[in-house]
Structure 1
Amino acid sequence: MNLSVIESAQKKYEELAELDKKHYFHPNTSFKVQKEDGPGFIFTEGKGIYLKDVRGREVIDSLSSLWNVNIGHGRAELAEAAAEQMKKLAFSSTFAGNSHEAVIQLAKKVADMTPGDLNYTYFTSGGSEANDTAFKVARYYWKMKGRPNKKKIISRTKSYHGVSVGSSAATGLAPFRDFPSLAPDFLYVDSSIEAIKEMIEREGAENIAAIISEPVQGSGGVNLPPENFFKELRALCDQNEILLIIDEVINGFYRTGTNFGIDNFGIVPDIMCIAKGISSGYAPIGGMVITERLKEELTDLTDGVFMHGYTYSGHPMCCAVALKNLELIEEEKLNENVNFMGAELLKGFKYLQEKHEGIGNLRQIGLLGAIEFFKDIESNTRYEDPLAPKVVAEALNHGLLGRAIIYEGQDTLAFAPPFCITKEEVEKMISIIDTSIQKVKNEVK
């Protein structure tokens, strides 16, 4: 860009930044940063794995924004699907038994993809609403069965389930629960079957409605479950008459190399929560899927109205976009590319580990992965001041937008790039991280 273009772009950024500081309340952002610093990037467009700022700066989106832009940025086909649906039917309520074609087709598509008899979907605007709905359904189910005391929900520490009042209360990561008067009756347990057994014995199975778990924890650090964890958890829930809720908001729709994360672990939950990848972030939509058994029991247990409904449950445009998104991912075999590029990502992690001391806990499943930093791996000693945020900051100087996770004493770099990423782009991403780690470690010394 020539000087006049650069100056014009900078002026536009400053004008927008000033308006942003005055009027936009940012999620997951420090109030002081919002007031004093204003926005970092103001993005204007995206293409594939790249995002471009109003000043013309391009960066690699190494986490698919919020683990959700699975198909990649800039897909005109999804805009066309949205426009076509909005021209025909922009909105209609699905309350009181009404329906429309797009929501019916999407519900059928979800049923075709989910494991076992998870065939019945309640649509929401996103993952937090999906999880809240699951909690209400679980408690409602036990109430209708004449067991109203079964209302406690168990979740794993390092879990993330959303930010509404109910889903915040379910989240195992303590900083997300730093609000007064969150929903009651949520319990947190370490990620072991023994710990869960002990909690059930202590609290009493007669008081527990459900256990919720991500197949692979996302925001908690990209943590894979212990061996045989889910098979043992499924058996434990069955033995104690506890519903099993699986949160697929990040894992679902091919992110882990299979249709859903739980497909990697060979069990069928009673309830599954979905969002993010169903529309690749192009439209706000999520859902709660329940089994045929649960659906039939709820039908038999009550003649009343299920008094729970979001205005945008089954929004026509969102459903149309989600259908097109899933169609394109399958047609272009991007779902298969997840495993090919996941293998390349792991290869890159191993290269980084060989080159730099103190990198450990490599993990990868599909296009979901992470590495951790240690001052000394053998003694499991970490840096007092975590390295991951510093590496992320340095990587930004080289054109890569990254994600550091430091909850619960972690020092983790997380990766979840769009499914359209190529081998060359994976290598470029790893190269930037390599350079950034070296720079940070030189400074730490």
Structure 2
Amino acid sequence: MEREYWAWSKRIGRGASEQMMKIAYSSAFKGFSNEPAIKLAEKLASMAPGDLNSVFFTSGGSESNDTAFKLSRFYWELKGQPKKKKVIGMRAGYHGVTQASQSATGILATHIFAGSNIKGFYHATPHLTNCELGDKNDPDYENSIRSLIEQEGSDTISAVIMEPVQGAGGVNMPPEGYIEAVRKLCDEFNILFIADEVICGFGRTGKMFGVENWNVIPDMMCMAKGITSGYSQLGGVMISDKIREVIINYEDVMSHGFTYSGHPTACAVALKNIEIIERDGLLNNVKEMEEELRKGLAYLEKKHDIVRNCRTLGLLSAFELYNPETGKSFDSSLQAAATVVNECFDRKLILRNIGDFKVAIAPPFVINQQEIKNMIDIIDESLTVFENSL
């Protein structure tokens, strides 16, 4: 993989260098733009599902989600419904580190840090499909999105935001029919549906965008990370035609924008990155390697009785560590996930522990069968070391 990696890196590096020699930076204020930004906007419109045909560029995921919240409130203001300002996120959802995106995040630690909890942001329990379809007899109904809407009033709710697959919250996969149920719920109550594709977008799940695994079209779609494969800082918010048509008729100045919105070098990098993904068939490789990764995790689960709840979509995967004697997760003092991740690191494999008992895996799109085998072997060894320490 190393040889291929450097070949791709050189192609992207050349694209960035060529653009910097033309025009490295230009402002997007006062209606200005630049050739790479325009071309990237056109490309994204051709790729995005449904009528997501316009993009507001940012520098990253937090800015993208912040922008989506502002645009949703602005949209409803222009529609004559100024009370629609509240945003519903999901428990265990992650949306960034700015004040608003951190408030939308449903992970407790982010709210403890710096008191980041703006009023008007609420958190529902995710994946309650029956509740979102209207089953009030479900014991979890009070924690659902539908219940929150009923409590707060749909005339006060601007948007619902969620990741198609929760990333930092635990690589939590939605149950069958859930994403579709939330889309239907938002339509029922006239609420915008925002898909946070910062983790899932640009091939991570085996589709170009995560929502495409469920044939759902959001009203807004936030992106970053994968748009440049991390080679440059860039994000964006795709918006639907119905939102765009309202906003472009605003006669005053829209008081929102970033210094690096539509940065020409970053946009040139994104164009080259997308070209590589498409031309080299990387999504096909993601789907093929998904099966290899799934087989490898099944092997680990069979061999190690501490491994449970393996899940994979594309090349986004995780497993959990449980005490086989109690059937519960290990005591936090053992730092089970961190220990396994550290053992993997010592063997030159980088994984991520999420909390005390979850381990996330997100290999590069260019990984091959032998490299997945090597990865599984390292995890196997690391699990054995942890088991022997008990």
Q: TM-score range by the shorter chain?
A: over 0.9
2:51 is equivalent to residue 117 of structure 1: yes
Q: Where does residue 355 of structure 1 map in the other structure?
A: 303
2:340 is equivalent to residue 405 of structure 1: no
* Distance across 2 between alignment mates of 1:272 and 1:381: 37
Q: 1:97 aligns with which of 24, 28, 31?
A: 31
Kept after mapping to 2: 8 A contact 1:284/1:318: yes
* Distance across 2 between alignment mates of 1:221 and 1:416: 12
2:328 is equivalent to residue 381 of structure 1: yes
Structure 1 unaligned blocks of 5 or more? 1-45, 50-70
* Distance across 2 between alignment mates of 1:74 and 1:243: 38
Q: Where does residue 296 of structure 1 map in the other structure?
A: 245
2:81 is equivalent to residue 147 of structure 1: yes
What is the total number of aligned residue pairs between the two structures? 373
Amino acid at match of 1:376: P
2:317 is equivalent to residue 369 of structure 1: yes
Output aligned runs, 1:294-443, within 5 Å.
294-300=243-249, 302-376=250-324, 380-385=327-332, 386-406=335-355, 411-443=357-389
Q: Measured at CA, do residues 392 and 382 of structure 1 come closer, stay the same or move farther in structure 2, by a change above 3 Å?
A: same
SS, match of residue 345 in structure 1: helix
* Shift in Å, 1:266: 1.2
* Distance across 2 between alignment mates of 1:48 and 1:310: 37
SS, match of residue 311 in structure 2: strand
Q: Where does residue 165 of structure 1 map in the other structure?
A: 99
* Shift in Å, 1:182: 3.7
TM-score, normalising length from structure 2? Answer: 0.92
Output aligned runs, 1:31-50, within 5 Å.
47=2
1:357-408 superposed Cα distances (whole Å, 9 cap, x missing partner): 021111100011011111139x6411103411110111122111210001xx
Kept after mapping to 1: 8 A contact 2:8/2:276: no
1:81-102 superposed Cα distances (whole Å, 9 cap, x missing partner): 1110000011111111111110
Kept after mapping to 2: 8 A contact 1:72/1:418: no
* Distance across 2 between alignment mates of 1:253 and 1:246: 13
* Distance across 1 between alignment mates of 2:62 and 2:259: 15
1:18-46 superposed Cα distances (whole Å, 9 cap, x missing partner): xxxxxxxxxxxxxxxxxxxxxxxxxxxx9
1:158-182 superposed Cα distances (whole Å, 9 cap, x missing partner): 1000001111111011101112254
Q: Where does residue 179 of structure 2 map in the other structure?
A: 230
SS, match of residue 13 in structure 2: helix
Amino acid at match of 2:197: E
Range that drifts further, 145-154 or 112-121: 145-154
Q: Where does residue 148 of structure 2 map in the other structure?
A: 199
* Distance across 2 between alignment mates of 1:414 and 1:96: 43
* Shift in Å, 1:116: 0.2
SS, match of residue 323 in structure 2: coil
Range that drifts further, 307-316 or 186-195: 186-195
Amino acid at match of 1:210: A
* Distance across 1 between alignment mates of 2:34 and 2:116: 38
Amino acid at match of 1:183: I
* Distance across 2 between alignment mates of 1:219 and 1:127: 13
Structure 2 unaligned blocks of 5 or more? 132-143
Amino acid at match of 1:272: M
Q: Where does residue 274 of structure 1 map in the other structure?
A: 223
* Distance across 2 between alignment mates of 1:181 and 1:255: 29
Kept after mapping to 2: 8 A contact 1:222/1:370: yes
Range that drifts further, 179-188 or 231-240: 179-188
Kept after mapping to 1: 8 A contact 2:88/2:161: yes
1:296-320 superposed Cα distances (whole Å, 9 cap, x missing partner): 12234x2111110100000000000
Q: Where does residue 190 of structure 1 map in the other structure?
A: 125
TM-score, normalising length from structure 1? Answer: 0.81
SS, match of residue 374 in structure 1: strand
* Shift in Å, 1:333: 1.2
Q: Where does residue 115 of structure 2 map in the other structure?
A: 180
* Distance across 2 between alignment mates of 1:81 and 1:73: 13
2:205 is equivalent to residue 256 of structure 1: yes
* Shift in Å, 1:142: 1.1
Output aligned runs, 1:240-255, within 5 Å.
240-255=189-204
* Distance across 2 between alignment mates of 1:48 and 1:174: 42
- Give the percent of matched residue pairs that are identical in Structure 1 and Structure 2: 45
Range that drifts further, 137-146 or 79-88: 137-146
1:177-224 superposed Cα distances (whole Å, 9 cap, x missing partner): 112254321001101242111111111111110000000011111111
What's the Cα RMSD here? 1.7
Kept after mapping to 2: 8 A contact 1:156/1:213: yes
Output aligned runs, 1:50-89, within 5 Å.
75-89=9-23
Kept after mapping to 2: 8 A contact 1:72/1:419: no
